[in-house]
Structure 1
């Protein structure tokens, strides 16, 4: 006999335009602690149905839904806003809300943000660390969107994000965990390990400042494949009290220079040699954010924690500092900040960076005529590296993907021992070099001037300032490589 699939029906109120007031849902549900999630038979939406009635929940969800109606399409990429509230489920009064369905290729982040050994196994099957960097950027973007709307979240951790690791995309689930500080109370305390210490020590309510802690921990967990605050010693005979102290009053950064109590074994050893990644493999800007968040005063002083926007921007700018290891094929931040150069090595396989070493340039923007200011964005350029418009046009960050973007230039290694940057665009590039190192603001007075129109190239000489055309960014060559 033909099997008849059992379905459910849901009636809604306050639906978004085009959604309708009735949904037909598949029988199979994803059941969690608070509720069950059903997918619509057309595969476009999901419905969360709470197991129990919660006083005030409908008003809380209505406030969230009304505020999030103004999200742009770009903002909605990172968050799942409520699109309607549930009125009845199979004819019975129930509480819940509708959201769009994320494509099946997305997985819960907890299944992807692995421990060091599991991550190494995934990498050796072809996955790249750069995808995790993109995922961390997407996670930070979701928190930026929340904070821009005046919201905070009571439950930021790796179970509440769906990730497409092949594309580096991430989207936040659990809109019911959103709170409005000073207006609505949190329904859950959060997940131990990601909660800010003050929640455990004095019962602080979720806020932007507690979110800053949770985001820092989650971002570092995503990049290093371990919780940077995990306690490695016991603080009390009772396990629950020990946990409360270890994540709360006694919280300690695993790489604290003066206290090794939480320092994992094999820290800094290459990952593929049973090592543990150190935060010092990250770009200097990300290292500084980590120190502000979990090493210095930020751990117990919420006001000094980096904002979500700082994490988002630093993660975005890190994309163009990745190097592809010729030995193991892994992507990693090229450690241009380490001197002498022989110290620079792949954190995954341990292979020393081989010559010719890549060049490193810092981007500048013109604040006043002839006066350029660093924007804390560096490019690591090796043979074959491309130059894109988002690198040269003011006020732009790296996009999510450049797959369909045409380069405006590229870099070639001159066998005579230097890198040259080739102009593939339609503006004239100019290189200005002094005979000695010159302050960036006055380097326009340099004594040597070279230009390159389309198809021509200019050398990446040390301390040279390169102008990419009128009203465009400039760049100073920090390290000519080679």
Structure 2
């Protein structure tokens, strides 16, 4: 998402984003976009390819039979990149394709491919229209778990990403201007990382899941319920002197979860410009003697608003239901409100 954001900020389009052109190293957690000899520079370098099968935007496929100079012909651009980016993120997280469902539009397989990915393209998890929903009996036997959205619906990725998937594959599928930008994906992915919980089952294949916003959370992959109480922290920012507003960002707590500067202050934005100093944790959460506590490592102005007590660096505060903790008194500093789930 960051790489695509950077390209688009420079006025460029990649034109062929796909799993062949993105290399991910799971060990160093780094990703690299390659094959940029097909970069599209408006009015200078026109697109040379229309893309890779699973990732071509519907409008490009639908008009590919027209002449290159035809004004109705759609060619790869930033908006088609955004379709490919959404499809990539969906496939990485859910291990299936967002448009390859149960509907057959034409008995000729080539025509069917062009229709189902082009003019007639439809989200396999469309909330109102079941036309292209996955038919379980068509799945190959090893695909039945991830391939069937009834087992793992797209909503398990949490509220921020679900919202963008709906925007990309329902609202924006045939209306390119409504597709989420790369920056929106980056923000939603980062907020979602703050919602993940470790699964308590040692044999769970996934080991982590996104908190489902219920008072009795459980792992959607193996069905194991969460054990013990679970602090949910909602971040608030100071709107004016007396008013604090919710940030629409929440931090889930688990044993040895960290607190970072980008949680503490609105002035620190979690993007590619963070310094090594900014990436150092400023506090951590731990389950200590039967209680959840936040340990302040280096924040000078932390304060327990509920008890009206300072929390100096090196000390800790217990997380209890309804507790308010000011993380920083500086401009842009946030307040956390604690809710205890699963009590």
TM interval, shorter chain, is 0.7 to 0.9
Aligned match of 1:477 = 337
Aligned CA RMSD, in angstroms, stands at 2.8
**Structure index of larger Rg:** 1
Correspondent of 1:455 among 297, 314, 338 = 314
Determine whether 1:335 maps to 2:211.
yes
Q: CA offset at residue 288 of structure 1?
A: 0.5
Q: Quick one: distance in 1 between partners of 2:312 and 2:189?
A: 33
**2:322–2:337: 8 Å Cα contact kept in structure 1?**
yes
For residue 256 of structure 1, the aligned residue among 105, 122, 126 is 126
Q: Match for 2:16 among 155, 171, 179?
A: 155
Which structure 1 residue ranges, 5 or more long, are not aligned?
Answer: 1-139, 434-447
Instruction: Output the TM-score relative to the length of structure 1.
Output: 0.60
Residues 317 and 397 in structure 1, CA contact (< 8 A), matched pair in contact too: no
Does structure 2 retain, via aligned residues, the 8 Å contact 1:361–1:380?
Answer: yes
Q: For 2:335 and 2:208, how far apart are their aligned partners in 1?
A: 23
Shift of 1:478: 5.0
Separation in 2, partners of 1:460, 1:402: 30
**Which deviations, in whole Å up to 9, do the C-alpha atoms of 1:289-332 show, x marking residues without a partner?**
1111102x211111111111100111122222221112135343
> Which of 243, 251, 260 is residue 388 of structure 1 equivalent to?
260
SS at match of 1:359: strand
- 1:352-367 correspondence runs (5 A): 352-356=225-229, 358-367=230-239
2-side partners of 1:352 and 1:166: how far apart?
30
Q: Distance in 1 between matches of 2:310 and 2:95?
A: 46
Gap change, CA 1:396 and 1:183, over 3 Å in 2:
same
Residue 292 of structure 1: which of 167, 177, 190 is its match? 167
Cross-structure match for 1:464: 323
User: Matches of 1:421 and 1:373 in 2, distance apart?
Assistant: 22
Pairwise CA distance, 1:229: 1.3
Tell me if structure 2 keeps the 8 A contact 1:365–1:373.
yes
Report the counterpart of residue 88 of structure 2 in structure 1. Answer: 218
CA 1:426–1:147 in structure 2 vs 1: closer, same or farther (change >3 Å)?
Answer: closer
Tell me the CA shift for residue 182 of structure 1: 4.1
1:69 aligns with none
Residue pair 1:266, 1:275 contacting (<8 A) in 2 also: no
Q: How many angstroms apart in 2 are the aligned matches of 1:292 and 1:304?
A: 7
| CA displacement at 1:453 relative to structure 2 | 1.2
Contact 1:198 1:204 in 2 (8 A): yes
Q: Is structure 2 residue 54 aligned with structure 1 residue 178?
A: no
1:192 aligns with 2:67: no
The equivalent of 1:245 in structure 2 is 115
For the residues of structure 1 that align with 2:301 and 2:118, how far apart are their CA atoms?
57
Structure with the greater relative contact order (CA < 8 A, sep ≥ 6): 1 or 2?
A: 2
Instruction: Give the equivalent residue in structure 1 for 2:281.
Output: 407
5+ residue gaps, structure 2: 64-72, 147-151
The reply to whether residue 348 of structure 1 matches residue 209 of structure 2 is: no
Q: Which has the higher strand share?
A: 1
Structure 1 residue 426: Cα displacement: 4.4
Q: CA deviation at 1:371?
A: 4.0
| C-alpha contact 1:360 1:380 (8 A) present in aligned 2 | yes
| Residues 21, 35 of structure 2: 8 Å contact kept | yes
CA, structure 1 residues 372+182, in 2 after alignment: closer, same or farther (shift >3 Å)?
A: farther
Q: Give, in angstroms, the shift of residue 188 of structure 1.
A: 0.5
CA distance in 2, matches of 1:173, 1:406: 30
Q: Secondary structure at the match of 1:153?
A: coil
| Secondary structure in 1 matching 2:197 | strand
Size of the aligned set, in residue pairs, is 319
> How far is 1:406 from its partner?
4.4
TM-superposed CA distance for 1:178, in Å, is 0.9
**Which residue matches 2:194?**
320
CA contact (8 A) 1:461 1:477 kept: no
